[in-house]
Amino acid sequence: MSEKMINIKIDGKEVSVPDGITLLEAAKIENVKIPTLCFHEDLCIAGNCRVCVVEVEGWRSLPASCATPVMDGMVVYTNSPKVRRARRDILALLVSEHSTQCTTCYRSTNCELQELASEYNIDNEIYINLLKNKSFTVDRSSWAIEKDESKCIRCQRCVRTCAELQKVNALDVIFKGADMKIATFFDTVMSDVVCTNCGQCINRCPTGALTERRYIDEIWEAIGDPNKHVVVQTAPAVRVALGEMLGYEPGVRVTGKMATALKRLGFDSVLDTDFSADLTIIEEGHELLDRLKRKLVDKEDIPLPMMTSCSPGWIKFIEHMYPDYLGNLSTCKSPQQMFGALAKTYYADKKGIDPKNIVSVSVMPCSAKKYEANRLEMNDSGLQDIDYVCTTRELGHMIRQSGMNFKELPNGKFDPFMGESTGAAVIFGATGGVMEAALRTAYEIVTGREVPFDGLNITPVRGMEGIRDAKIKLENVLPEWSFLEGIELRVAVAHGLTNATKIMEDVSIGESPYHFIEIMACPGGCIGGGGQPIPTNEEIRKKRAQAIYTEDEKMKIRKSHENPEVIQLYKEFLGTPLGEVSHHLLHTKYTRRERV
């Protein structure tokens, strides 16, 4: 953006704004709110809903402020009678093609159309209801995402999300005119297309057209069943975002209140995905070192760089888009699934409960985890390892339903056995976190010393840059790792599948300089996951990430290999990392998929 300032007049006030910005941005600087629907900070400008129109003196028509650059001397009115009337008409038009059953809509009270329609006092009877004579479908085929055409206002935010942020293109615009709508390839059901279930479209849908498939009722049912022992695990990113569902500003950590709330909801055991995140680091760290050894010492043809496998959206993406590189994926299950496999084996054993009576629930910042839990191979305990996955949003709804005053809850703690965790596990929730946690452990395994970063904070892999990388020189290594002496370990971190694609382009032409790559499907990592509170934008994601790093710094133990429960787990149950039990319960394989 140029430094040049120009003068315009907004609602009678002379203001000086940077040249090159839009009218919408100029109004924002002046604290004038212009309503928007198709506009989203994370996406390119569409200019198609036309709700943000304003009046410019001397112009015949009302331009969309999101798509119109400021020009010197412009005289702009954001709230003239002409503007108000036009916005009302446009909103009434949108309402006329929208299923207005707000009372039964999951997004009620968090719907941008509802809010604006109410603000502009839209009378539902102005125009003819266009849904009456149209057929539309509600697609519930996917484990993760529900698509309800009757609530779609064709703003195309989902389409842009799927194309620009994720490069998946599962959703696109089809037909034109009155028939124009958002659909998959030949309107195929969501379960059968390239959709990665990342849920970024849900986070950006202004209405209830795209939502996660909910399992709230099933979870209540399990809780209410006296014969069931219901365990719940919560992912690291949930604790820094759940507050937004319950009246807090973004970036507030509610870990203690969440633990208390979960107990009061009736879960029999409140455990922590952080525990299995630590476990993942042990397994994945050893896997990396093992791959390096086999490559460098045994000269085996081992695929490198190794890539993380915690993000189920990323996994489905690579299965569809780059199936030739599945061998580069770490075979480690995600923390959720490691937890699931252990809950119905190790935990059941320790507690003396028949695994059949255990219902394993996880609370995730993610919609893809719902799909992951239902993958056919995820039943190494002999049963489906994870029974139900709910999002941060669903948990928020359950807590509201229960009538608890969340803000007043005392801080509680996770239960023992698989409830203990470290700072390394907490940072899994932010992009770069898995890498940082892995380096804290792997470096120490190899050299016997802590990573050479101030306060263990490996800042080069932190932040919101799409792709980041770092180098760590391995010197004075322990004798058993002598083959790594002097090697510069090169790592990279990418978040959002468009950035993953950039990484994969290099990998696929054999030009990736890295040993280890962390990839998270969602922008910002799990804190920006498809199951997190709506709205989302970079500012909110940064606040959640900051909260994650604060949580890390407050933890007593900050390295995965020092988690006492994990140490105990290896001693009592698993034996060694990459051992036989681990191999059976904690590792998995991947499937080639069509690109439809």
Partner 1 sequence: MRKRESAIKIAVDKYGKERKNLLPVLQEVKQAKNYLTRSDISEIAAEMDLSSAHVYGVASFYHFLDLKVRGQNIIWVCKTISCYMKGSNDILLTLEEALKIKVGETTSDGKFSLLQTNCIGWCHKGPAMLINDQPYTDLTPEKVLQIIDEYYKKS
Partner 2 sequence: MAKRKLKRVDLIFSKDCSCRDILAAGLQKPREEIIQTLIASGLKGRGGAGFPTGLKWKMAANEKSNKKYVICNADEGEPGTFKDREILDREPLKVLGGMALCAYVTGAREGFVYLRHEYRFLIPKLEKVLDTFHKWMEELNLDFNVKLFIGAGAYVCGEETSLIESMEGKRGEPRNKPPYPTNEGYLGKPTVVNNVETFVYTMMILRIGAEEFKAMGIEGSSGSKLFSVSGDTPKAGIYELELGMTLDEFVKEFGDGDAKAVQVGGASGFCVPRKRFAETHIGYQGGLTGFSLPTGGSMMIFNSSRSMYNVLHNYLEFFEEESCGQCTPCRVGCQQLLKGIEAVKRGEKSQKYLNDLLRLADTMKITAKCGLGQSVGNSFSSIVENFREEMIY
Member of 172, 218, 469, 565 binding partner 1 (CB under 8 A):
172
Helix (H) or strand (E) holding 294: helix 273-296
From the list 369, 370, 543, 559, the catalytic residue is: 369
**Catalytic site includes residue 105:** no
Q: Which does 257 bind (CB under 5 to 8 A by kind): partner 1, partner 2, none?
A: none
Question: Is residue 210 close enough to count as binding partner 1 by CB under 8 A?
Answer: no
**Catalytic site includes residue 475:** no
Residue length of the chain:
596
Q: Per DSSP, what are the bridge partners of residue 145?
A: 212
Amino acid identity for residue 401 in this structure? Q
From the list 309, 330, 362, 512, the catalytic residue is: 330
Q: Which does 171 bind (CB under 5 to 8 A by kind): partner 1, partner 2, none?
A: partner 1
Q: What is the DSSP string of 56-109?
A: ETT-SS--BGGG-B--TT-EEESS-HHHHHHHHHHHHHHHHTS---GGG-TTTT
**Catalytic site includes residue 309:** no
* 492: exposed, middle or buried (Cβ count in 10 Å: 0-12, 13-18, 19+): buried
Binding site for partner 2 (CB under 8 A): 45-51, 53, 60-62, 64, 67-69, 82, 85-86, 89-90, 93-94, 96-97, 126-128, 130, 153-154, 156, 173, 175-180
Q: In angstroms, give the least distance from the CB of 300 to partner 2.
A: 45
Question: Is residue 186 close enough to count as binding partner 1 by CB under 8 A?
Answer: yes
**Catalytic site includes residue 57:** no
**Catalytic site includes residue 377:** yes
- What tokens does 446 get? 């190899």
Q: Which stretch binds partner 1 (CB under 8 A): 164-172, 276-284, 435-443, 460-468?
A: 164-172
- What tokens does 432 get? 């770069």
Helix (H) or strand (E) holding 284: helix 273-296
Q: Per DSSP, what are the bridge partners of residue 472?
A: 489
Question: Is residue 184 close enough to count as binding partner 1 by CB under 8 A?
Answer: yes
Q: For partner 1, which is the closer residue by CB, 96 or 141?
A: 141
**Beta strand extents in 460-515 (DSSP E only):** 467-473, 488-495
Q: 225: which residues sit within 8 A by CB, 6+ positions away? A: 359
**Catalytic site includes residue 367:** no
Q: Which stretch binds partner 1 (CB under 8 A): 181-189, 298-306, 401-409, 437-445?
A: 181-189
- Distance, in Å, from the CA atom of 572 to the CA atom of 120, rounded to the nearest integer, reads 64
Q: In angstroms, give the least distance from the CB of 169 to partner 1.
A: 3
**Catalytic site includes residue 310:** yes
From the list 284, 394, 436, 551, the catalytic residue is: 284
Decide if 229 contacts 366 (C-beta within 8 A). Answer: no
Angle 497-508/312-321 helices, nearest 10 degrees? 40
Q: Which does 127 bind (CB under 5 to 8 A by kind): partner 2, partner 1, none?
A: partner 2
**Catalytic site includes residue 287:** yes
Angle 392-402/255-265 helices, nearest 10 degrees? 60
Q: In angstroms, give the least distance from the CB of 207 to partner 1.
A: 21
Which residue's entry shows tokens 């058993």?
Answer: 480
Q: In angstroms, give the least distance from the CB of 263 to partner 2.
A: 48
Member of 96, 169, 191, 537 binding partner 1 (CB under 8 A):
169
Q: Which does 186 bind (CB under 5 to 8 A by kind): partner 2, partner 1, none?
A: partner 1
Residues in the interface with partner 1 (CB under 8 A) total 18
Q: For partner 2, which is the closer residue by CB, 87 or 558?
A: 87
* Sheet of 488-495, strands arranged across: 306-307, 516-520, 488-495, 467-473
Q: For partner 1, which is the closer residue by CB, 183 or 254?
A: 183
Q: Which residues bind partner 1 (CB under 8 A)?
A: 163, 168-176, 183-186, 193-194, 595-596
- Active-site residues: which are they? 284, 287, 310, 330, 369, 372, 377, 526
